[in-house]
Amino acid sequence: MIESAIDVKDLTRTFGSFTAVDHISFEVHSGEVFGFLGANGAGKTTAMRMLIGLLTPSGGTARVAGHDVYTESEAVKRSIGYMSQRFSLYEDLTPRENIRLYGGIYGLTMPQIRERTGRMLTRLGLARVADEQVRSLPLGWRQKLAFSVALVHEPRIVFLDEPTSGVDPITRRQFWELIYEAASGGTTVLVTTHYMDEAEYCDRICIMVAGRIGAIGAPADLKKQFGVDSIDELFVRLARPETAVPESALPERLS
Amino acid sequence: MTALRGLLRKEIFHILRDRRTLTVLLALPVVQVILFGFAIRTDVNDVRLAIVDPAPDDATIALRNRFASAGVFRTVAVVPRAADLDPLFQTGAAQQAIVFEPGLAADLGRGEPGHMLIITDATEPNTGSLLQAYAQAVVQGYQQELIAAGRPSAGPAPRSAAGPPLAELLEGPPSAGPALRGGPAPRAVAIVPAVRLRFNPTRASSNLFVPGLMAFVLTIISSLMTAISLTREKETGTMEALLVSPLRPWEIIVGKVAPYLVIGFISVVAVLIEARLIFHVPLNGSLPLLLFEGGLYILVSLSLGILVSARTSSQRVAMMGVLLATMLPNVLLSGFIFPVESMPAPLRIVSYIVPGRWFVLIARGIMLKGIGLDYLWRETLILAAMAAALLIVSTRSFKERLD
Amino acid sequence: MSTVVVEALVKRFGRTTTALDGVSFTVAPGELFGFIGPDGAGKTTLFRLLVSLLRPDAGRASVLGLDVVREYRALRQRVGYMAGPFSLYPDLSVEENLRFFASVFGTTIEREHARIAPIYAQLEPFKTRRAAALSGGMKQKLALCCALVHRPEILLLDEPTKGVDAVSRREFWDLLGTLKRSGLTTIVSTPYMDEANRCDRIALIHRGRLLAVDAPGTITRAFDRPLLAVRARERYKALLALRGHEHAHSVYPFGDVIHYTDERADAPADQIGQELRAFLAANGFADASVEPLAPTVEDTFIARTAESESRISNPESRIPNPESQIPNPESRTGSS
């Protein structure tokens, strides 16, 4: 853990009178798998968008891969990869065309693109469908391909926005293996997820509650610290201190 | 009944809350009338007229005077030979020419058909045919005067009637640019019942476009809005809930379309009032009949909208479908902008199945000619048959299931 | 008598896609029955068949004793159906949505107040708010309310918790528990494996087939191999090393640990644990800890899908080769 891949201090973003992200500070180390958790509207998407240069912060500082998000957003964009939950792939292009497109966007040379395309397709076992339109591929394959495409220019940091929603458990695990593989190669991974059990795959997690950081640390440490059995439980505890429906308030027969 | 009332109330909420769409729906007819009324006026004024009168006599002078006093024409040149017209047409100095032949008065005096030729620059075909009609109307007016004066067989007659093909009348057509082969359309004067002129004596194009505009607006409101609001429910998933409920398909459809029917009527009335106030477009026939025909046309459009939405699952596709299936044909092939008579034969045949065509005919008949069902029963029957057929097909195609 | 009886149900879309491939099960009165499976498994298709929105290509299904094809009219009066948490009218307020769905069934909120009160009580403070402006959890409750407002005899909820945050999901399952205690038969589907334990019985569904139908506890007990959790600081490297173990059956990451199953189904877990500890230590993972583990529904799901397609057991490839996993890419798209 030589240097920080991401260094955020007092980062804030307001929309009118609403403060979506409220003075958050955290650090992500190089090669770390960092989980970003929170309820819908807790501010995790806003925070991520500021880090990848899609939104200008209202205040605070943030350095991504050593670059300032205010003044060096071009450099930031060049050193990161991004995969959104809606797939960053063009569904009417083939896997090969998608890889070539993104390789071109990030300024790879043709021989580089050719070499990486071949390696990637073999690695993912997609060689057979390399020339079929992406839309005809199963969801799980598309997600793995999208992840690899986000890595095509070998970025220092890759941002994944709910990458595994809806896939079957096996594909999900294969996806996490890809993440581990990337991380073991030195790539920093920042991932948001809805699956609380998935938080435990991360080296460290950060749970956002109403624009602030409710908890941050390694999953095991957090469980110990809060005295809970699972991150799910911790999440419930942080997000809604009192459990909502007193069951006694419900009637005996409803039908 | 509770169910239907609930559906209607819900649909009205949708309409009232989508402010942007509602504004467009209500403003569209109003804006369109103004647009068509002022900006896209097809009336012609100040027509540059050339006259070839090798041997002036009573008849030619009388006709020339009529042209001069018609208020639309401005005589730019009087030349002795038809060949002199070429440069005039080529430079654009003249848009139209009247070519008299020697001895017109004498011919008419003998009770024989007189001959003359009207040449019009048809580079812009619509303007061209309009000019043609204007000129013919002037000649016709003269003819009627003669008849009134007790010379029944008299009047300048078409050359075609006398034998020689029209083309021979020209030494060589003044070319009007390569884009239009045959260029200025030569035509011998005939006693043509220029319907549009006779029933549109003010020659205001607004009189013509208002019925067409009604068709256009109704198509948008009925077809497009129905298709969009039905597919929107498919997108949100609420359609599933409606289908699974005890609601019958007809209830869902009625609940969907009834509010748009009302908006359609409001728009029609708004267009009529506006057209009357700003452009003094007459409504010579019966308003209830017009609204009834409008209702028929709305039914046809609504059914088309339902039909399109039954086959699509996204608003975007539905919009494209409506555009292709209803809007384009109704604008292009209904005679709203381009006269059906001037279409090539295949398109004219296609236009028979375009509901807008019949509605435009009916609406023009009622508004401009003031005629009633005794004349329009055929068109009405066609529209009614279309409405019935489409209504059946569309309710059938609206499935109670998803497959 | 069973509330739902489904026999060898088949549903195809087009020529290549088989969304449901011979599905059979029954649901007893008052049961809370869950379909657990990923996107594209056929859950939505199955629900649509059960509420008569689709017709099967083969097989039979009856709900409340009514055939879903022939007696669909009667069925539709008595079923409560929720197609996801967001199938509401976004431009209508909470109250207007509910009022509308009540009117569709010829009733009113007032008349049904007693039935929906417990859920509606939570929504009432927001009753004039448009549905579009509600949080995911609130939308979900409103959709449930709308499905309940006509006093249905059976509730079919298709992925009611999908895309909703963990807290709201938990609250929603609490509500379903309460409905269950009131005697209402409820069928739910979910892609979240951890929700399986909230059901009386579950069916694991994958690619149009049921992998197992039983109580969650019974299903996990049927897991027939020793399962061990391996913890190591260098997780990924340890994972790769374990795949090289001569008796490894499956090795996959599971949260902060690695789940390991052994091919020797009958060997005691303790003995395997010792072996693994030694193996890892020899491979440079001195910090590794190994302990036997009770399988979860998710472990079972993984094992059953692997069995049904005889995959994942290949120790050579770190990632099982997708080409052998999914014979026909089209077969998974298009459904649900």
Question: In this complex, do A139 and C302 lie within 8 Å of one another by their Cβ atoms?
Answer: no
B272 pLDDT more than 80: yes
Nearest-by-Cβ selection for A125 from C175, C183, C321: C321
Measured between CA atoms, the residue of chain B closest to residue C14 is: B403
Assigned domain for A248 exists: no
Residues A108 and A204 in one domain: no
Q: What is the DSSP-derived secondary structure letter of residue B239?
A: H
Tens of pLDDT, residues A207-221:
998 899 999 999 999
Domains of chain C by start residue, with CATH: 4-213 (3.40.50.300), 221-331 (3.30.70)
Q: What is the DSSP-derived secondary structure letter of residue A129?
A: G
pLDDT average, residue stretch B128-157: 70
Assigned domain for A138 exists: yes
For chain A, what's the residue count? 255
Which residues from chain B sit within 8 angstroms of residue C133, using beta carbons? none
Measured between CA atoms, the residue of chain A closest to residue C185 is: A255
The Cα–Cα gap between B94 and C188 comes to 81
Among C116, C165, C254, C311, most A C-beta atoms within 10 A, so best to mutate, is: C165
Which residues from chain B sit within 8 angstroms of residue C146, using beta carbons? 241
Domain of A97, in residue numbers: 89-154
Higher-confidence residue of B402 and B240: namely B240
- pLDDT band, very low/low/confident/very high, at C320 (cuts 50, 70, 90): very low
The two three-digit tokens of residue C212, written as one number: 């197992």
pLDDT of residue B39: 62
Question: In this complex, do C178 and A178 lie within 8 Å of one another by their Cβ atoms?
Answer: no
pLDDT of residue B165: 33
- pLDDT band, very low/low/confident/very high, at B156 (cuts 50, 70, 90): low
Helix (H) or strand (E) holding A224: helix A219-226
A132 pLDDT more than 70: yes
For chain C, what's the residue count? 336
Question: In this complex, do C101 and B241 lie within 8 Å of one another by their Cβ atoms?
Answer: yes
Q: Give the list of residues 6+ apart from residue B253 with CB closer than 8 angstroms, or none.
A: B306, B394, B395, B398
Question: In this complex, do B244 and C81 lie within 8 Å of one another by their Cβ atoms?
Answer: yes
Question: In this complex, do C166 and A236 lie within 8 Å of one another by their Cβ atoms?
Answer: yes
Measured between CA atoms, the residue of chain B closest to residue C149 is: B245
pLDDT of residue B40: 57
Assigned domain for A29 exists: yes
SS3 C133: helix
Residues A195 and A218 in one domain: yes
Is C137 buried (19+), middle (13-18) or exposed (0-12) by CB count in 10 A?
buried
Measured between CA atoms, the residue of chain C closest to residue A134 is: C329
- pLDDT band, very low/low/confident/very high, at B151 (cuts 50, 70, 90): low
Assigned domain for A253 exists: no
Q: What is the CATH number of domain B47-198?
A: 3.40.1710
Residues A5 and A111 in one domain: no
The Cα–Cα gap between B351 and B344 comes to 11
Chain B residues near any Cβ of chain C (below 8 Å)? 2-3, 5-7, 9-10, 13-14, 17-18, 236-238, 240-247, 400-403
**How far apart are the CA of B314 and the nearest CA of chain C, in angstroms?**
15
DSSP for C248-266 reads EEEEEEETTEEEEEES-TT
Cβ atoms A13, A57 nearer than 8 A: yes
- pLDDT band, very low/low/confident/very high, at B124 (cuts 50, 70, 90): low
Is B343 buried (19+), middle (13-18) or exposed (0-12) by CB count in 10 A?
middle
Assigned domain for A246 exists: no
Nearest-by-Cβ selection for A129 from C165, C192, C329: C329
pLDDT of residue C331: 37
pLDDT average, residue stretch A229-252: 62
Residues forming a β-bridge with B11: none
C302 in contact with chain A, both atoms CB, cutoff 8 A: yes
pLDDT of residue C220: 92
Question: In this complex, do C255 and A139 lie within 8 Å of one another by their Cβ atoms?
Answer: no
pLDDT of residue C318: 38
Measured between CA atoms, the residue of chain C closest to residue B234 is: C87
pLDDT of residue C118: 83
Residues A168 and A63 in one domain: yes
C260 pLDDT more than 90: yes
- pLDDT band, very low/low/confident/very high, at B125 (cuts 50, 70, 90): low
User: Touch between chain B and chain A (3+ CB pairs, < 8 Å)?
Assistant: no
**How far apart are the CA of C216 and the nearest CA of chain A, in angstroms?**
17
Question: In this complex, do C52 and B18 lie within 8 Å of one another by their Cβ atoms?
Answer: no
Measured between CA atoms, the residue of chain A closest to residue C237 is: A184
Tens of pLDDT, residues B329-349:
887 888 777 777 778 888 888
Which of A154, A173, A202 corresponds to the end of one domain?
A: A154
pLDDT of residue A240: 67
pLDDT of residue A248: 37
- pLDDT band, very low/low/confident/very high, at B128 (cuts 50, 70, 90): confident
- pLDDT band, very low/low/confident/very high, at A25 (cuts 50, 70, 90): very high
Question: In this complex, do A166 and C38 lie within 8 Å of one another by their Cβ atoms?
Answer: yes
Q: What percent of chain B has pLDDT over 70?
A: 82
Nearest-by-Cβ selection for A170 from C136, C167, C305: C305
Which residues from chain C sit within 8 angstroms of residue B400, using beta carbons? 72
The Cα–Cα gap between A190 and A171 comes to 19
Closest C-alpha to A39, from C175, C134, C131, C167: C167
pLDDT of residue A241: 55
Residues A206 and A177 in one domain: yes
Higher-confidence residue of C33 and B104: namely C33
C-alpha torsion C14→B241→C85→C87, nearest 10: 90
Chains that touch A (3 or more CB pairs under 8 A): C
**How far apart are the CA of C143 and the nearest CA of chain B, in angstroms?**
10
Assigned domain for A250 exists: no
Mean pLDDT estimate for chain B: 77
pLDDT of residue B275: 82
How many domains are contained in chain A? 2
Question: In this complex, do C323 and A128 lie within 8 Å of one another by their Cβ atoms?
Answer: yes
Higher-confidence residue of B181 and B279: namely B279
pLDDT of residue A171: 86
Chains that touch B (3 or more CB pairs under 8 A): C
Kindly report the CATH number assigned to the domain that includes residue A70.
Answer: 3.40.50.300
Tens of pLDDT, residues C183-194:
999 999 999 888
The two three-digit tokens of residue C301, written as one number: 């799901």
CB atoms within 10 A of CB A30: 17
The two three-digit tokens of residue A156, written as one number: 């220092």
Question: In this complex, do B244 and C53 lie within 8 Å of one another by their Cβ atoms?
Answer: yes
**How far apart are the CA of A155 and the nearest CA of chain C, in angstroms?**
20
pLDDT of residue C186: 97
pLDDT of residue B381: 94
DSSP for C176-191 reads HHHHHHTT-EEEEEES
Which residues from chain B sit within 8 angstroms of residue C53, using beta carbons? 240, 243-244, 401-402
C301 in contact with chain A, both atoms CB, cutoff 8 A: yes
* CA angle in degrees (0–180, nearest 5) for B202-B203-B205: 120
Measured between CA atoms, the residue of chain C closest to residue A198 is: C255
Residue type, B368: L
Assigned domain for A127 exists: yes
Which residues from chain A sit within 8 angstroms of residue C162, using beta carbons? 166
Whether ipTM exceeds 0.85: no
Tens of pLDDT, residues B35-88:
776 765 556 677 888 888 888 888 888 888 888 887 788 888 888 888 888 888
Q: Has this prediction a pTM greater than 0.90?
A: no
Nearest-by-Cβ selection for B240 from C53, C77, C89: C53
Mean pLDDT estimate for chain A: 86
Residues A63 and A179 in one domain: yes
Helix (H) or strand (E) holding C300: helix C297-309
Question: In this complex, do B401 and C77 lie within 8 Å of one another by their Cβ atoms?
Answer: no
Higher-confidence residue of C161 and A84: namely C161
- pLDDT band, very low/low/confident/very high, at A22 (cuts 50, 70, 90): very high
DSSP for B103-166 reads THHHHHHTTPPEEEEEEE--SSHHHHHHHHHHHHHHHHHHHHHHHHTT-TT-SEE-HHHHSS-G
Mean pLDDT estimate for chain C: 87
Tens of pLDDT, residues B291-303:
999 989 988 998 8
Higher-confidence residue of C179 and B369: namely C179
Chains that touch C (3 or more CB pairs under 8 A): A, B
Closest C-alpha to C260, from C281, C222, C231, C283: C231
Give the number of C-alpha atoms closer than 13 A to the C-alpha of residue C291, restricted to the C-beta side: 6
Is B386 buried (19+), middle (13-18) or exposed (0-12) by CB count in 10 A?
buried
A 76-115: CB under 8 A from C: none
Domain positions in chain B are 11-40+207-397, 47-198
Question: In this complex, do A40 and C136 lie within 8 Å of one another by their Cβ atoms?
Answer: yes
Question: In this complex, do B236 and C86 lie within 8 Å of one another by their Cβ atoms?
Answer: yes
Considering only A80-89, B70-79, B269-278, which range has the smallest mean pLDDT?
A: A80-89
Which of A101, A125, A154 corresponds to the end of one domain?
A: A154
The two three-digit tokens of residue C205, written as one number: 């569904």
A 113-172: CB under 8 A from C: 124-126, 128-129, 132, 135-141, 144, 165-171
